[in-house]
A = this chain, B = another copy of it.
Amino acid sequence: MRTVPTVYEVARHARVSTATVSRVLSGNDRVRPEYRERVFAAVAELGYVPSGAARDLAARRAGVLGLCFPDLVGDQDTDSDAMFWYDEIIRGMERAARRRGYALLIAACHETDDVDLVTTVAGRCDGMVVLARTVPAPELERIAGRIPVTMLAGPRTSDEAARVVDHLVVANREGARELTGHLVDVHGYTDVWFVAGPDSPDSAARFDGFQAALAERGLPVAQRPHAAGDFTTAGGRRAVAQLLADGHRPRALVCANDQTALGALTALAGAGLRVPQDVAVTGFDGIQLGQHVRPALTTATQPMRQLGEKAVSMLEERLADPTLAARLVEMPVRVDVRESCGCTSEI
């Protein structure tokens, strides 16, 4: 195998300086057409592919954005279905990044280890988005000292980190409030229960919205969730199956996320209950699967596209001005009324 060609070879071949090669390749400088031609010819002939590392080092810019999401491994080493939600995030971020000319460097990280992986990512990108439970706070602070960091859908971390890390969240509380309100106002259900996820700020905020909706309507307000899953389908199924086994028959179930709701659907079917005729169900997030199950899931859909775009622009703003104060931005969610709440299909 030949040795890999460098700018020097290209420059020599094209009989120009490396500066000219660099200018031609970056595209945005005025170079005599004749030289330009020669450079392209040399590049083609030599099969030149510029070294990203050298380029990044010299230009202090990578053209790469990073994304750390939690490492979710199911029981037998298969991906947990909580991953569906991350698929959407990855896709949304990749698209938004690409629109602005960045590639996306992704890695599933776990708070307890993987510091090397996080460093690999952080050291190689111009800015990064981290989801909750991926990077320990001290590490996060350190990284934020080097590149802009936006925490997506996560909790406010330590005070230190909060000073330097931007936060981008969705309207969890408001979404759950609307969903619950819909169940009460439109369908007249008063016996509405909440099926939580794991102990997380997202689940908590959604429960909060659930409580608010009930309180506003003068209905009795539960002080704690009636059941709790873990944001997976299996967890939701177990939680609701237990509820039913205990003899409870709520009229409607507000679930902390879509997978939990999907699990609820299965548990209810298993108990011979019809959705929405016997029990209504709502989810949260708007994963694609929710549109395909029957009954189609009524849910609060997160604006993936906009979340990605917003995350990238926040990163770019901070790249332009690193002294910016940390920001907390909340994006609205959209309530998608489908079948599982009792409304008819909108097909």
Interface residues of A (CB under 8 A from B): 1-2, 4, 47-57, 62-64, 71, 77-79, 81, 83-84, 87, 90-91, 94-95, 98, 101-108, 116-117, 119-125, 141-143, 145-146, 262, 288-289, 292-294, 305, 322-323
Contact = CB atoms under 8 A, between A and B. Distances in A.
B292 A262 contact: yes
A233 to B, nearest CB: 9
A258 B279 CA distance: 31
A286 to B, nearest CB: 12
Contact of A323 (B1, B90, B289): B1
Contacts of A64: 105, 120, 124
19 contacts: A2-B145, A47-B141, A47-B142, A49-B122, A52-B120, A52-B122, A52-B123, A53-B53, A53-B62, A71-B98, A77-B305, A94-B107, A94-B108, A98-B108, A102-B120, A104-B105, A104-B106, A106-B106, A293-B293
Counting every copy of the chain, the complex holds 2
Given A91-B87, A94-B107, A47 B145 contact: yes
Contacts of A289: 288-289, 292
Nearest to A233: B292
A101 B107 CA distance: 10
Given A83-B91, A106-B106, 12 more contacts: A2-B145, A52-B56, A52-B120, A53-B62, A53-B124, A57-B57, A71-B98, A87-B91, A90-B106, A95-B108, A98-B107, A289-B289
A77 B53 CA distance: 33
A124 to B, nearest CB: 3
A173 to B, nearest CB: 27
B103 A49 contact: no
A84 B87 CA distance: 9
A78 B306 CA distance: 12
